[in-house]
Amino acid sequence: MSYTGPDFDPPRPRRSPLRRTLTVALAALMPGALLGWGVYAAVGGPGGGGGEERAAPVPSSSAPAAGGDDAKEPAGGASSPATASAPAVSGPLKGKVVVVDPGHNPGNFRYPDEINRTVDVGTHHKECDTTGTSTDAGYTEAAFTLDVAHRLRDLLTRQGATVKLTQDGDRPYGPCVDERARIGNEARADAAVSIHADGSAAGNRGFHVILPGAVHAGAADTRAIAGPSRDLGERIAGRFVRVTGSAPADYVGGGTGLVTRTDLGGLNLSKVPKVFIECGNMRDAQDAALLTSGAWRQKAAQGISEGIVGFLRG
């Protein structure tokens, strides 16, 4: 998700390496999900191999610009064909519904008029969607988010959850941000997660989870979901850093990996617990090396999955 689009704020100034080290260390001492961030020091920083890879990567229909490990199949056989939803199997999450929202759409760039039209997000009007960002080598955010969504869907389905994707490359563009929220609402999701990768300045690194602030205006009313969404976001952040070894972003969130916003339609219009996760910065070479790795994307999906499972099981 790029900071140059309609749903994004400009990046904050970079912190010095020393300050970044201190903020990550302090974050490790914070309660709740931030306890998991103490593992960051043990794995040696971003990309340090933190967290066991629980399953081999799931094949992706959109091959990355780099990395050759995407042809592996997950344990237990090949991934099922891409569908908009996956039925539950027996497991600890049986009866739970999770909506996974792969940010953007590979075809958005072909439909500028459609994605630039404005929609009501409660507090104001915003563009339907954006094209997203990409690495310098051309690996798109839309390809990344769909690949991670497939991996996440498979992991959650094995736990017994019913998983619905807001889009699966099965429509020419979109859906718009208001429809993305509506899909989760109509599914009566127990949890919803929107997957993104950032397009900040080169040199800015790390992940962050975006939480909905308390909004009550027009069609937007997040007062009931703000608390549960924070719980969901903290759990995802804690597991994400443990499994991937990535650090919280050094350019937003004050080193906590958590950012609260009230301008995103996908959060403002949600009636179910929902967060966004920016898995890394595509415009930074070191983060891009992770995001284009199938093995790392599997770890990202695993971390997100563990956070969701922890939230749903209480």
Phi/psi at 174 (5° precision): 70, -160
- Mode of pairing for the β-strands spanning 162-165 and 97-102: parallel
Residue with token string 């997203």: 132
- The residue among 259, 257, 261, 260 whose CA lies nearest residue 241 is 257
**Rounded Cα distance, 134 and 198, in Å:** 9
Angle at which helices 294-313 and 226-244 cross, to 10°: 140
What is the maximum span of the chain, computed from C-alpha positions, in angstroms? Answer: 49
Candidates 141, 179, 234, 278; catalytic one: 278
Is 205 in contact with 46 (CB distance < 8 Å)? yes
Residue with token string 């969701």: 308
b/e 267-300 (16+ beta carbons within 10 angstroms → b): bbbbbbbbbbbbbbbbbbeebbbbbbbbbbbbbb
C-alpha distance from residue 115 to each of 106, 111, 170, 276, 284 (Å): 12, 6, 16, 20, 26
Active site residue 278: yes
**Rounded Cα distance, 276 and 269, in Å:** 13
Is 188 in contact with 95 (CB distance < 8 Å)? no
Q: Quote the radius of gyration of the chain (alpha carbons, Å).
A: 18
The residues that are catalytic are 278
